[in-house]
Amino acid sequence: MTTVLVADDSETILLLMRTRLELAGYEVETAADGQEVTERVPIGGDGPDILLLDAMMPRKSGIDALRELRAAGVDTPALIVSAHHDPNDVDAPTDLEISGYVTKPIDFDLLLGAVAELTEKPG
Amino acid sequence: MLTALTVVGVGHFIDQRQDYETSLEASYQREMLARAELNAGQHPAAARLAIVTEEANREHLRDSISDNTRDTVILVGAGLLAGLIGALLLFTGLIVAMRRPLERLVDAAGRLAAGDRSARVEVGGLAETAALGKAFNEMAAELELEASQRDRLDRMKDEFVLTASHELRSPLTSVQGFAELLMMDRDSLTPRQVETVEIILDNCRHLARLLNDLLDLARSDAGRLTIRPRPTEPAPLIEDVVRTMRAQTERSDQTLTEKIGPNLPPIEVEPDRIRQVLVNLITNAHEYAPEKASIEVSARVADGGVEIDVTDDGPGIPPAQLEHIFERFVRGDAGLTQRVGGTGLGLAISKSLVELHGGAIAVDSEVGRGSTFRVTLPLAAPGAVEAPAPAPPAIAERPR
């Protein structure tokens, strides 16, 4: 079963994401901030198939968590959820292999489509 | 100084002349006395001598007076000349003394008017120019203080809007997301409940649009609304927007057509931003025009650019509103806006975006006939090859 790790500091959003993803047939893990994300994703091990990280969270942001994971060699696909993302924002990191940005309010048709596409097992 | 010396000199000459005249008078008296003595036959020799002496004496005095007059004339002439030269020197000196400070003042005023709030002048020179310089500096300092306070308030406002727009998105996501969840179970809902949830969803979309628009405006105000123009073929862009919007217009039985001139040259724009402008304009036409109205998007080469027009045969805009149509929160007729879902920000944002591209936006409208919004966009540099679009993110925001 495909596992999605969702990180957001809002419990309501986590509940919403979990519900929609589980309805679509995914197994869902949740984290309340970036710190929990880095603790839950094993280095080189059998981790989640895709990360859905909120860009802004207390303690550690989704971007910072992803930066640590990438530095440790984790290449799990990641989608960044941000309140607003302007593709022209100069501070958007380009070196973190971010598969895409999801803006709030979340369009779940687009989100579920992207998750399906990114977690398709080759062959 | 010289004039004063002249006056003293002339005074001296006048005194001297009076002395001469007094002496002349005395000499004449003495001669008269001598002549009387002579007539009386007393001391004829002495009297004759006295007469001759006094005559010679008076001759000498008359010479002196004539010299005195000549000297006075020379002195007065010299004095006048000296005064004239003095005045000329004084005037030149004044001009020189005032010119530098005045030039500096004019220069500083120019810089201040051009927006350099730190423009100040060096206070100096004559008392008058120094006072002027001081007054200017005080005014400039006051302006600078006011401007910096205004800047600070503007920044606070921009930050507030950015933060508010950010913070409101999470609860909005929840409301919309859970309403959508309810709708996934619509078979178990009563028709009344379905209608209720649909209203919630409609308003969520409206709120999301408002937040996006506010965010764009705040970015624009903060100078953070940036574009990355690239050579873009206008025809496919317009066709794509029209195709996307047709679903909406067909619901109101409106016809949405395109009329694109042949061989349109590439324009220098960021396609997503121009798409946003065209969607705004078509959405306005769609929302304000009645059912069965027609909306036409046309494009042609004009004025060194490409002009894209969005024309509708809707109710038109009254002249009083037309002037303010591109301002924020200005919306059409209140009766119409009851059913129109706009935010009142679309045209303000469209104007910012078009102008950011170096283009222009204008409107013609006649009540009862309809409106035409004209967007002119700059051409791409000749010979520029259409750059491949940057790799799109996996999930792009849907066209608004």
pLDDT 10s digits, B276-295: 899 999 998 998 888 889 99
Q: Does A120 touch chain B (CB under 8 A)?
A: no
Token pair of B127 as six digits: 């008392």
CB-based contact, A110 to chain B, within 8 Å = yes
Confidence grade of residue B41 (pLDDT, cut at 50, 70, 90): confident
| Cβ neighbours of A99 in B, within 8 Å | 393-394
Question: Tell me, what's the pLDDT at B394?
Answer: 45
Assign residue B102 a region: left if phi > 0, alpha if psi is -120 to 50, beta otherwise? alpha
pLDDT of B1 reads 67
Across the interface, whether the CB atoms of B204 and A105 are under 8 A apart is answered yes
Cβ density class B296-316: b for 16+ within 10 Å, e for less: bbbbeeeeebbbbbbbbbbbb
Report the 3 state secondary structure along B284-305.
HHHHHCCCCCEEEEEEEEECCE
- Quote the pTM value: 0.59
What digits encode the pLDDT tens for the residues A43-65?
877 889 999 999 888 888 888 99
Cross-strand bridge partners of residue B298: B259, B309
Asked whether residue B252 carries a pLDDT value surpassing 50, the answer given is: yes
Other CB atoms within a 10 A radius of the CB of residue A90 amount to 7
Minimal CA separation from B386 to chain A, in Å: 19
Best mean pLDDT range from A75-84, B189-198, B220-229: B189-198
Q: Which of A6, A80, A106 has the most B C-beta neighbours within 10 Å, making it the best mutation to test the interface with B?
A: A106
Tokens 């020799």 belong to which residue? B45
On the question of a cis peptide bond just before residue A105, with omega within 30 degrees of 0, the verdict is yes
Cα B284 to Cα A72, B130, B280, B311, B373: the distances in Å are: 51, 59, 6, 11, 10
The percent of chain B in helix, strand and coil, each rounded to the nearest 5, is: 65, 10, 25
Biggest CA–CA distance in chain B, Å, is: 168
Residue B267 has pLDDT above 90, yes or no: yes
Distances (CA, A) of B371 to A123, B86, B264, B350, B364: 56, 74, 24, 16, 6
pLDDT at site B194: 93
Q: What is the pLDDT of residue B2?
A: 63
The pLDDT assigned to B385 comes to: 56
Contact flag B176-A105 (C-beta cutoff 8 Å): yes
Q: A109 in contact with B at a CB cutoff of 8 Å?
A: no
Minimal C-alpha gap between B200 and chain A (Å): 14
For the stretch B338-357, pLDDT in tens is 455 566 788 988 999 999 99
B310 alpha-carbon distance from chain centroid = 32
Of A16, A85, A87, the CB nearest to B174: A16
**pLDDT interval class at B244 (50, 70, 90):** confident
Q: Given pLDDT bands bounded at 50, 70 and 90, which one contains residue A87?
A: low
Q: State the nearest Cα–Cα gap between B229 and chain A, in angstroms.
A: 11
The pLDDT value recorded for residue B125 is 74
Task: Read off φ and ψ for residue B209, nearest 5 degrees.
Answer: -65, -40
Distance CA B200, CA B178 (A): 10
ipTM for the predicted complex: 0.87
Tokens of B388: 């491949």
B108, B118 in Cβ contact below 8 A? no
pLDDT tens digits, one per residue of B92-126: 888 887 788 888 888 888 888 888 888 888 887 77
Mind giving me the DSSP string for A41-103? S-TTSS--SEEEEES--SSS-HHHHHHHHHHTT----EEEEES---TT-TTS-SSS-EEEEEE
Mutate to test the interface with A, among B173, B181, B201 (most CBs of A within 10 A): B173
Tell me the average pLDDT across B195-217.
86
Q: Is the pLDDT of residue B297 over 90?
A: yes
Instruction: Give the per-residue pLDDT at B397.
Output: 45
Q: Does the beta-carbon distance from A79 to B394 stay under 8 Å?
A: yes
The alpha carbon of residue B248 is apart from the nearest alpha carbon of chain A, in Å, by 19
B391 pLDDT tier (thresholds 50, 70, 90): very low
What is the predicted pLDDT for the residue at A92? 60
Residues in chain A with CB shorter than 8 Å from the CB of B213 are none
Rounded mean pLDDT, B151-164? 83
- For residue B180, the chain A residues in CB contact (below 8 A) are 108
The mean per-residue pLDDT over the stretch A12-30 comes to 95
Statement: residue A86 has pLDDT above 90: no
